[in-house]
Chains A and B, each alone.
Chain A
Amino acid sequence: MILAAARHVAQQAAQQPVLNQEAHGFLSPTGVEIAFLLVGLVTLGAALVTVTTRQLVHAALWLVVALGGLAVEYLILTAEFIAWVQVLIYVGSVVVLLLFGLMLTKAPIGHSPDADSRNRPVAAAVALAAAGALVWVVVDAFRTTWIDLDGAVQGSTEVSGEILFRHWVLPFEALSVLLLAALVGAIVLSRRKKEEQR
């Protein structure tokens, strides 16, 4: 009985994507998809340069390109508010913090040959295995699903504010306390002790 019901559901699920596929057309990318693909290629390239370049400051600057590309992807996915938060927080503050950190640790400005450790081949093997497994699973799982980007914007500022302050108020407040604790902790950690106390 249960098996029969499960088989029925599976058959329905198998029929559904076919209709879906016909509606969307297989391998005929729309303009949105082409834009997403191009920005995604730029993002991936910038991320690759970030983790492989031997000039430390260049790594931070390429990180700006990667994070900005992700903000454009959020815009394409109609999550406007998150896109601008991404630009403000990541590009605006996190990368600036990283640059400050590079300068305060007296990182070499030019070419530094010891930016990578000795276990690069192992790291590359692990990353390739992770990428292969993840891409295989993800493509296999979501081969026949489409995002419907038409209609109302999913993540406008109005929608985001409403859901954030109507349904997610308590986590939001807890998060603000966590942020405060983290900033106080960072100040305490980086405060220079007086000489007689050391």
Chain B
Amino acid sequence: MHLAYPAVLAALLFAIGVYGVLARRNAILVLMSVELMLNAVNLNLVAFDVWLRDTLHAGQALTLFTIAIAAAEIGIGLAIVLMVHRNRGTSDIDRLRDTAEPPQPWDTATEDGATTDDTPTGEKAEATA
């Protein structure tokens, strides 16, 4: 089989995952797109392992490790998303802007450090609880 088939399929899957990560708003849909990207890498690993006929089968072993790490990642990621949803009532990435720099000119931001804290204090206290 031509090696370009699995390589091109993996490249396209990776690009689709990139689009999903950048364009989606819900955190769980972003996690799904991350899974697509990881799977593209796995396909590459398997295809090149079969092509090279590696005696150690490093590609397949790494694929198994990647699958296990992806499972761990999805568990931790979902726990974090659930905690954010419990504290904030939303899992939209666009609305989680607490650590964003406030849009203000340079001179006032450097002079007056207290103005950076213009988010409602109740929301912050809830977030740290």
**A contact set with B: CB distance below 8 Å:** 24, 29-30, 32-33, 36-37, 40, 43-44, 47-48, 50-51, 56, 59-60, 63, 66-67, 70, 73-74, 76-79, 81-82, 85-86, 89-90, 93-94, 97-98, 100-102, 104-107, 114-120, 122-124, 126-128, 130-131, 134-135, 138-139, 142-143, 145-149, 154-155, 159-160, 163-164, 167-168, 171-172, 175, 178-179, 182-183, 185-187, 189-190, 198
Contact = CB atoms under 8 A, between A and B. Distances in A.
A63 B83 CA distance: 24
A106 B28 CA distance: 12
A134 B67 CA distance: 23
B81 A101 contact: yes
Interface of A is mostly: helix
Interface string B45-71: 011011101001100110111011111
A185 B79 contact: yes
Contacts of A190: 79, 82-83
A77 B71 contact: no
Nearest to B53: A154
Contacts, number: 256
* For the complex of A and B, 3 pairs with smallest distance between CB atoms: A51-B20, A123-B22, A131-B15
Given A50-B20, A119-B23, 10 more contacts: A47-B16, A51-B33, A74-B46, A77-B50, A85-B67, A98-B78, A101-B82, A160-B60, A178-B72, A182-B76
